[in-house]
Structure formats: C-alpha cells, structure tokens
Amino acid sequence: MRFFKVANARRPTPLLWGMMLGVLALLFADIGYAQTPADPNASEMQFKRILMLPVYDMRAVYGESFSLQGPLSGKVFGIDQVDPQAVDFVRITIASVLEQKGSFHLLPAAPQDVESMAGLAPVAGSRAERISAIQKAADRKGADVALCTYIYAFRNRVGTAYGVESPTMVAFEMNLVSAATGRIVWRRDFTETQTTLNDNLFQLGKFLQRKGRWVTAEEMAAKAIEELLSSLP
C-alpha cells in the first residue's frame, strides 16, 4: 500500500481531532438495541409446541467473571450482577408474552428434562453434547422446539427514576433448538447499560420512549423480551 504526502496540508487542530474522535465514538458505541439477525433456517421455522427449559443465571453457575461465551451461541457477553429475582421474572415474562400471542403451546420442563441438561450450564460437556441433551428433552415432551434462556446481567439502578448513582444493566439471550434436527433455528440477544442522552445521541428514541427516566431492570428486560419475541414467525 502506498502513502502520498499532500503538499501544504494543514494539521488538524485539537478541536478538529476531538470532533473526529467524538464521531467515531458514536459510530462504534454499544447502543444496546436488541439484535435481530437473519433467521438461519427458514424452512424449519414452523413450530407450535415450545418446551420452556429453565432460565439460567450464568453468574450463579460460573461465578464472578469478566466475560462468558453463550453455551449454545458462542457469543461473548459481559458478566455483571444478577438480581436474585431475575430468573423468575424473565421466565414469567417470556411465558406471558408467548401466551398473549395465542399461537404457541408452552410445555413446562419436567424434572428429567432439567436433569438431562446437567451438562448445559456447568462447564462440563461440549456444545454438541449440550444441544443433544436439549434436543432429546424436547423430543421426549413432544415439542417442536426447546427454548433456552441465559441471563448474564440484571443489575438494577441505584437511585431514582430521575437521578442515579449507578444505572440499570441487562444482558440475556434466547435460543430455540429444533427437536427434529438439533439446530438453533432462532436466536436473539439483548445487552444494554442505560446512559444519558448526552453520552449517546443514538439513544434518542429510547430516551423519548422512557420519558427521560432511569428505568428499572424489570422495565428494561420486559420491553426487550417483548421486542425480541415479536420476531418469532
């Protein structure tokens, strides 16, 4: 690669450098929007019966850590505090949203289904073994797919709706595993640490939606779950 020197070019002023760095920071900022990647296996997306496997608090399973890979997706998530009520809240909220859709039949996990996932959350077992255990659990229940949900952060704000010492942070992912093929036919994840509008101009939509308030982890997670599950076929 060749580099050419431009004659009489002026060096950027400190102010210009600051503006350029600010623009780059905005472009690469983690804006926290729920990700909606393309469905990898559209032909497998016809399902009605969903086995609801336990929601896992990944920090409780693995202990304190800076980051962690999703057991099925392999995506890296930052680990933070997880409220003790988070698992029940996320499970109940997911079930409520799916039931409101009216097009899915939810199947609760039986004790043997949970036992079959012994290699899922703990370190033991390969990714293929984890998926195989999930597939078998879904097949035993007569489900079309199994829903696997992992929480990586569920930290509530410290402060009030209009002033905080520490903001809310939520990070989780949902995976649907086909009982027929063992493939992940749908996956969504969400990560956000609430920031001020001055810190991130791309958050204008959420800022207006939240009426300038600092939301709780429950509010943030509930809205994210509703948006993510809206992409189910």
**Closest Cα to residue 172, out of 24, 25, 57, 88?**
57
Comparing 127-131, 144-148, 175-179, the range with the smallest average pLDDT is: 127-131
Question: Is position 5 within any domain?
Answer: no
CA distance 136 to 113: 9
Question: What residue numbers bound the domain in which 65 lies?
Answer: 36-229
Residue 79 identity: I
Question: Is position 18 within any domain?
Answer: no
How many helices (H) and strands (E) the chain has is answered by: 7, 9
What is this structure's pTM? Answer: 0.74
Question: Is position 31 within any domain?
Answer: no
Question: Is position 73 within any domain?
Answer: yes
pLDDT at 217 over 90: yes
Question: Is position 81 within any domain?
Answer: yes
Total count of domains within the chain: 1
Please list the residues that pair with 192 across neighbouring strands: 170
Burial class for 172, CB neighbours closer than 10 Å (0-12, 13-18, 19+): buried
Comparing 7-11, 112-116, 163-167, the range with the smallest average pLDDT is: 7-11
> Using one digit for the tens of pLDDT, what is the confidence trace for 6-48?
344 444 454 444 444 443 333 333 334 444 344 455 444 679 9
Q: What is the structure's pLDDT at 157?
A: 74
Find the largest Cα–Cα distance for the chain.
76
Question: Is position 14 within any domain?
Answer: no
